Structure 1
Amino acid sequence: MNPVAAAACFTWFGMVLAISFLEAPLKFRAPGVTVPIGLGIGRIVFRALNAAEIVLAIVVVVAVVLAGPHPVVLTSALIPVAVLAAQLGAVRPWLNRRSDRVLAGEELPRSRGHLAYVALEVVKVAALLWLGIQTV
């Protein structure tokens, strides 16, 4: 039982669900929201989400390590952290370069990079749910 790790996991889990799976797709359905406006909003929102995720990842890892974790729990804690690192280190830079081009007025086909980001979000959400259950 690790209440700090559990609270951080479920907070992180809820934030990702709310932003990635609710806010992000819905903003483009709002009247008057163009692709450039949606991208601009998305960059700000995801920058804030990712900053919060980094803090929560640190809290989770520290809480798990300080609790003298079972190896399975420690491995489970490293999965969402590794996914976040992949998103921030590989996918987000590619998406940022692409959105820079769109915001500069270039017309591009739909992005497949978002599919990679969403796939990683699904893995991260599943890992956070699993870890949260293990730490309750």
Structure 2
Amino acid sequence: MTATAALAGVACLWLGMVLAISFLEAPLKFRAPDVTVRIGLGIGRLVFRALNAVEAALAVVVVVTLIAGHVPGPVLGTAVAAVGVLALQLVAIRPVLNRRSDRVLAGEDPPRSRAHLGYVGTEVVKVALLLAAGVLALSGL
């Protein structure tokens, strides 16, 4: 298997996970009967902690693949950018969201946070980058 083919598989797997969790599970859980904001946040923290751990592992696989094999420039650029977006989310945005959700889970009612919009925005960018990396890798560019 070539590095480009491996990268295509990892990018598609990662893309599917982000789409399923961030854009399907996360908003739907709050529509379930009797799910309060506190319960939804508690579930969301567990789910996103797990998702982010798997994403970090996939990002390591991407980086190792990029180092170990020859990958065309466009694929390299989009893959590196996707890893960079994940790093931004984990280092800069998730800690802010975690502090706010800690307060909500402790019974406080803190004001809305713009960090959530930042996370959603970076998820959209990451989805576009992963899609591009997968398509470019599959097309051989």
Q: TM-score, normalised by structure 1?
A: 0.95
Give the Cα separation in 1 of the matches to 2:103 and 2:18.
26
Deviations 1:100-123 (A, max 9, x none): 001111112333221110000000
Contact persistence 2:93–2:119 (CA under 8 A): yes
Contact persistence 1:15–1:49 (CA under 8 A): yes
Give the Cα separation in 2 of the matches to 1:81 and 1:11.
14
Partner of 1:62: 64
- Report SS of the residue matched to 2:128: helix
- Report SS of the residue matched to 2:85: helix
Deviations 1:63-107 (A, max 9, x none): 233222233322211111000000000100000000000111111
Partner of 1:78: 80
- Report SS of the residue matched to 1:109: coil
Map 1:1-136 → 2, pairs under 5 A = 2-136=4-138
Q: What residue ranges of structure 1 are gaps of 5+ in the alignment? A: none
Contact persistence 2:11–2:134 (CA under 8 A): yes
How many residue pairs match? The answer is 136
Give the Cα separation in 2 of the matches to 1:73 and 1:8.
12
Contact persistence 1:64–1:73 (CA under 8 A): no
Deviation, 1:135, is 1.1
Give the Cα separation in 2 of the matches to 1:70 and 1:11.
20
- What's the C-alpha RMSD, in Å, of the aligned pairs? 1.2
